[in-house]
Chains A and B, each alone.
Chain A
Amino acid sequence: MSEPLLLFDNVVKRFGDFVAVKRMNLEIGKGEFIAIMGPSGCGKTTTLRMLAGLESPSEGEIRLDGRVMNNVKPHERDTPMVWQSLALFPFLNARENVEFGLKMRGLDAATRHQKALTWLDRLGMSEFAERDISTLSGGQKQRVALARSLVTEPQILLLDEPLSALDAHLVIRMQSVLTNLQRELGITFVYVTHSQSEAFAMADRVVIMSNGEVAQVGQPKDIYRAPANRFVAEFVGRNNIISGKVKSASKGKAVIDAPSGSYTVTADAMPKPGAEATFVISADLVRVTGSKPKAENAVAARLISEEFIGSVVTLFLESGDGTEFKVQVQERELATLDLKSAELLWLSWPAASAHLLPGG
């Protein structure tokens, strides 16, 4: 990892009896795009607000570039934030909004003007510079808010669910605007979101939070394929989570007895036979066939329902003992399977596709 710019050292945040953030330890590198993701109330926004100085930690330290930030007032920091509501000043026009931070830093009018226009231009907003905020569309306001935060050339930008109010097609476009900006500027982005697609599409690393605790930190792909615990496995994507008892374990492979069958999984750390174990097999790694395949793991299941979302279809199936399985297949692939007439379908996957959760 690159040189740490930001450090959370045993940070705790309490609001009365409620503990919003429980003992957080996290390093964020220079020029890193980090996404903090989790369900609502998990403490992700509180974490971001502590970075901006809008809340101060109850315990522990937050260090930015080696400096302890706990008691630094918000206006004394250089940690601009892009709000979910955008928080643009309605009594100023687009350019004046962008100039606000520069004015506070005491820059003269001509320099402010020029810098604001440069940034508005960079975000494709130069023709709207003198426009009233209320006359701008959601996407345009978004760009003004970004320009306003970046015009002071900070080393870190905080983003609190900035795309959640936009239409789906705009979200995709703004994602590429954000990632390009981050790469060009080489500054650190801390991006809070509840959306997995936003976090995975943009971030170098993702922090998953649950009930005020960091559940997992890692690259999107690692989090997706190798969740650290049950919470992450359930929160991220469509996973089949299967629990059972370890029957045998040797040579990097473990056999687990579950109600729906006996499964072989690859394992780095060998679990003890007889111990409880849980593994995940993500829905897109499961094959569906009409007849029993030759595979390390296979289970027969009946189709319950299907969910069509475009090129990918999710099938919901049930095995003989009532365990529910989720399988994602390409729509065109599905056409080759004669689902209606098949009594039972066979689900199969190689042992290496399954991921054994550490700690059972």
Chain B
Amino acid sequence: MNPPEKKSLDLYAMTWRLPVIVWQTIFFVGPLLFMVAMSFFVVKNYRMVEAFEFTNWEKMLGRGYFWDSYLLTLGLASLSTVVAMLIAFPAAYALAFKVSDSARRWAIFLLIIPFFTSYLVRTFSWYVILAESGVINAILGYVGLGPYTMLNTKFGTIVGYMTLTLPLVVILQTFALANIDTRLVEAAHNLGCKPFATVWRVVIPLAKTGLIIAALFCFILSFGDFVAPYYLGGSKPPTLPILIIDTTKSGQQWPRAAVVAIMMMVTLFAVAFAALTAAYHKRGRS
């Protein structure tokens, strides 16, 4: 009696799974494979022609400006991750341990509000603040400082990255910290561990998985972001997302842009794999 029933159940389950599988195949796996194939195509007379040549790979990876962009993007995304994690931590710590439950709920709600508006719009609002004649320079001018150039600098890029990532990083860190067993924190104090040392020796190790995931999100979002380096960072030298746009615009070089995109994806896969391995690493049994 059981086997036929089980079979019909499988069919039922399959029916519900099918839309997701079809969607993923058509709109994710398909295009991805096409992009890989496209990186071997050639462009003749501003037209893409199917081929299987390694010229795009040789041209892109053999050029200094690609690697300059690559290292710049890697460096900026890493810096963004470090800055966001450091700025977010005291806020997340306070939300997780120092405020009431209702205050924490309100804070999380307020941290979600930035996502209501387009990131692009929020980025443009920085012009008013960071420009040569902007708010910050006006205030500094009163005390006889400046003006400082903040737009079209790496500083501007990082400010833009923070606009994108900081609310999310605070939320993720708060959840990571709020879930730790506070009795272990008390135990550390009880064993003579000073409050600051306890954060380093007990709180962070306990929240490790959640904190690494927060950092990973920050890195992924910054690494792939086009808006901050383009509008606030001045796009010179270009980061990889800007390089993709530039490459497609100049001579319809979609195949070479595909090379850049694949390199970015490989990098993100490697970083995500390393981060998740570290996040879920359990001490070995001996």
Interface residues of A (CB under 8 A from B): 52-54, 73-76, 78-81, 83, 85, 87, 89-91, 93, 100-101, 104-105, 130-132, 134-135, 148-149, 152
Contact = CB atoms under 8 A, between A and B. Distances in A.
B226 to A, nearest CB: 39
Contacts, number: 70
B187 A75 contact: no
B76 to A, nearest CB: 32
Given A91-B283, A132-B283, A135-B285, A54 B193 contact: no
B15 interface: no
7 contacts: A54-B189, A78-B192, A91-B205, A104-B193, A131-B285, A132-B282, A134-B282
B154 interface: no
B206 A83 contact: no
B184 A100 contact: no
B268 interface: no
Contacts of A80: 190-191
Interface string B264-286: 00000000000000000011111
Given A85-B183, A91-B205, A91-B206, A100 B188 contact: yes
Contacts of A54: 186, 189-190
Interface residues of B, number: 24
Contacts of A149: 191
A83 B192 contact: no
B184 A74 contact: no
Interface stretch (B17-25, B81-89, B165-173, B194-202): B194-202
B104 interface: no
B70 to A, nearest CB: 35
B187 A83 contact: yes
Contacts of A148: 191
B191 A104 contact: yes
A83 B189 contact: no
Given A83-B187, A91-B206, A105-B192, 11 more contacts: A54-B189, A54-B190, A80-B191, A81-B190, A89-B187, A89-B202, A89-B205, A93-B283, A100-B191, A104-B194, A131-B285
Nearest to A158: B190
Contact of A130 (B198, B202, B286): B286
A74 B205 contact: no
Interface string B154-192: 000000000000000000000000000101101111111
A104 B283 CA distance: 22
Contacts of B181: 85, 87
Contacts of A83: 183, 187
Contacts of B193: 75, 100, 104
Contacts of A100: 188, 191, 193
A72 to B, nearest CB: 12
Given A91-B205, A91-B208, A104-B197, A152 B192 contact: yes
B186 A101 contact: no
Contacts of B189: 53-54, 73-75
A192 B8 CA distance: 58
Contact of A87 (B187, B198, B282): B187
Contacts of A135: 285
B204 to A, nearest CB: 10
Contacts of B197: 104
A75 B286 contact: no
Contacts of A85: 181, 183
Contacts of A89: 184, 187-188, 202, 205
A75 B194 contact: yes
Contacts of B195: 75
Contact of B190 (A79, A91, A93): A79
Nearest to A85: B183
B97 to A, nearest CB: 14
A101 B286 CA distance: 23
